Amino acid sequence: MTDAVRLETLYKTYDDTGTAVTALDGVTASFGAGTFTAVMGPSGSGKSTLLQCAAGLDRPTAGRVFLAGTELHAGKDTAMTKFRRTRVGFVFQDYNLLPALTVEQNVLLPSRLAGRRADHARARAVLDRLGLLDRRDDLPERLSGGQRQRVAIARALIGDPAVVFADEPTGALDLRSAREVLSLLRTVVHEHGRTVVMVTHDPVAAAYADSVLFLADGRLAGALSAPTAEAVAERLAHLGDLVGAGAEAVA
* Binding footprint of other proteins on the chain (CB under 8 A): 52, 57-59, 77-78, 81-82, 84-85, 90, 92, 94, 96-101, 106, 109-110, 112-115, 155, 159
Cβ proximity to other proteins, 155 vs 235, nearer residue: 155
Cα 154-57-178 angle, rounded to 5 deg = 40
Cβ proximity to other proteins, 116 vs 238, nearer residue: 116
For strands 62-67 and 36-40, give the pairing: unpaired
Cβ proximity to other proteins, 34 vs 145, nearer residue: 145
| Residue 48 touches Mg ion, criterion: CB under 5 A | yes
Q: For helices 120-129 and 145-157, give the axis angle rounded to 10 degrees.
A: 130
Distances from the Cα of 24 to the Cαs of 74, 134, 225, 240, 244, in angstroms? Answer: 16, 43, 23, 17, 13
What is the closest distance, in whole angstroms, from the C-beta atom of residue 79 to other proteins in the complex? Answer: 9
Closest Cα to residue 216, out of 39, 32, 20?
Answer: 39
Q: In whole angstroms, give the CA distance from residue 64 to residue 83.
A: 15
What is the closest distance, in whole angstroms, from the C-beta atom of residue 211 to other proteins in the complex? Answer: 25
Q: Which does 64 bind (CB under 5 to 8 A by kind): other proteins, Mg ion, ligand ADP, none?
A: none
Q: Which does 26 bind (CB under 5 to 8 A by kind): other proteins, ligand ADP, Mg ion, none?
A: none
| Residue 48 touches ligand ADP, criterion: CB under 6 A | yes
